[in-house]
Amino acid sequence: MRNFFYIFSLLLTYPNIFAQVCKFTQDHNGNIGSTHISCGYNFSNSCINITANFPTIRDSYSYASPTQIAYNPTGNYTTGIALNANDDDRFIKKLHLSEIGGNEPFLFHFYGNVKSSLTISSNGIISFNDNINEGDFSTPDSNNNSLPSAFLPQDAIYGIFQDLEFNSANDSEIYYHVMGGYPCRKLIINYYKARLSGTELTSTFQIVLNERTGIIEINVESKPLADSSMRFKNALIGINGNVLNGIAAPNRNTGNWQATNESYVFTPNGNNLSPTNYRWTNSLNNSVTNNATVNVCNIVPSIYTATANYTNQNNEVFNVKQNHPITFDNAYPIPKNHSEVICNTTTSLQQSQFYSSINTQTNHSLFRYKFYLSNADAINNNSNFIPFNQNLQANQTYYVRIENANDSSCFKIATLQLLSQVEFPSHVEICDAGNDRTQEYVLSGLNCLLFENIPNVTNIRYYLDNQTNPSTTAILTSNTRIRVEYNLPGCPNIMSNEIRVNFIDGPVLLMQELNFESFEEIFDIITNNNPIYEEPYIWEEELEESGIVLSNASDITSIKAFLTLEDAINNRNPQNRLKEGLEENNYEYDLYLRIENESKDCRGFCYNILPVNARVKFKRIILNINDNDPDDPIDFL
């Protein structure tokens, strides 16, 4: 099974096809698609509840009979990127859908499969056959076939399949562009004043693909009757899969016909697909909730992303997602707790010098700051706050009430700790990759544990046991004693107390190494876009399908492959393609699997490394369609 990850737009009725509703998240106040926090925002017990409600969609393995609607073209027929079309009976341009439309790929599914590319023909066809390339022959003749037919171009859309030609000496041209906002964009392919072959008659029409719905629109401004001098006079509007399931527009299933100002819509009508396995993540990478509703209580500017799965008839899993940004008004306080070491107790500590440290907002004239010695006084807005012109003291914790300057009821509390020295824990927790209570470690990895909230520390050095010289790496055990020396402004060479190590278990594996063999089991499909000697490979899926169990633990979150042990340890350069070994090495080579679980230290998720003795040889298939031969009958691609 292969997973295709994509977001879709909501399927509506034909008249509203250009005004699709694409926001599927809503907070408890009814704000759709995003939440903006201002002083009047109504919280739910100091939190925000955001619910995802993805709709049921239709599988595209089949389409309803196309419907003719009122003429409704999308934009102008000369809008978009010109292909500089100057050809006849050729595929002119290949579009890789991951490369168009901005930061998010434009993904479109057709007859139950997600498509990675399409190729535009001079004869009014767009083909989803990945093996067709620019310059390949495109037949101009339907040979009197009508849909459904195995003798017509398959896996294709016929805007108007007819014998056309383009010449740079006239105004005939093909344009394409993407319009609309993610995830409800449209890919429009405009055929403008295409010449009917050998004549001065012109045909103008467009093919419109709706992002991730499978909906196809075909709009025809003009299509004249074919001239009697033309060799191939038939024309066809329709779509064609690859198992005799093509359908044509009413009264447009081959023949010599003319049309003006017509529009047709092709809509999937497969099984209803309902969302499952809801999951929320956020841009802060500190929350995961496996429910349709997420309860946000750590409220800061962020983007929460809802994800749900859909499984189609082919057991392909579609990951559907929607972003829900949380933004703030400039006059709404965004507190952050702050600790700072003030080792020079004679330093003057003005209240205003800490405003930027305790409030994320940058325009401090919009706020009033009140420093208290107790949290209760700050919450209750008591009058015993520190006078505005009074300096603060080291070795003191302050509770700062940050108020909107015009509304004292709109406030948040930040904690400010002013310390005379760094307070270190007695133990630090680190991941134990081998679960042997011994870990080779780069000691600078402890910085995020010991100095996370100390912004003004410099020149950090680590000493092990009774050593007098600092170390940069060490083999840590439960008995290792660590001291850290550091500098603060005005106070160099401060030495910590002794710190011990506690280990966090990594995944427990069922084997010490894995012998992995794939000998002529996988096809190496070689095309212009898929290089030789490697194929896409998702280890979690392939191991599961092969019945290989690496661990009985239920908290495994990911399995990634690396070419070197160093890369695996540092989580660097993961391999998402399986490579063939060298023939002179009997197709054998080494891999390293990094298996991660849900536990983590400040450097990331805990892991274990499994060496892999790999032996990989592919079966080879070379696909390259470049049919320039003038044989008769003409080939159908």
Please enumerate in sequence order all residues whose Cβ is within 8 A of that of 387, keeping only pairs 6 or more positions apart, or say none: none
Answer whether 118's CB lies under 8 Å from 95's CB.
yes
Q: Provide the pairing of β-strand 25-27 with 236-240.
A: unpaired
pLDDT by residue (tens digit) across 185-194? 899 999 999 9
And the tokens for 570?
């540092």
CA atoms within 13 A on the CB side of 159: 30
What does the pLDDT look like over 579-622, one tens digit per residue?
A: 888 989 998 999 999 999 988 888 888 999 999 999 988 776 55
Number of Cβ atoms within 10 Å of the Cβ of 352: 9
Lowest mean pLDDT among 453-467, 495-509, 521-535: 521-535
Contact 274, 56 (CB under 8 A): yes
Residue 314 is encoded by which pair of tokens? Answer: 């082919």
Categorise residue 571: left if φ over 0, alpha if ψ from -120 to 50, beta otherwise.
left
What are the tens digits of pLDDT across the range 374-409? Answer: 999 999 999 999 999 999 998 899 999 999 999 999
State the DSSP string of 576-615. -EEEPPPGGGTTEEEEEEEEEEEEEETTEEEEEEEEEEEE
Q: What percent of the chain has pLDDT over 90?
A: 62
Span 308-325, average pLDDT: 83
Distances (CA, A) of 599 to 434, 491, 511, 551, 607: 14, 37, 21, 15, 9
Name the percent of the chain lying above pLDDT 70.
Answer: 91
The pLDDT, as a whole number, for residue 525 is: 55
Q: Count H helices, E strands: the chain?
A: 5, 44
- What are 52-68's pLDDT values in tens digits? 998 888 899 999 999 99
Q: What is the pTM of this model?
A: 0.66
Specify the pLDDT at position 635: 38
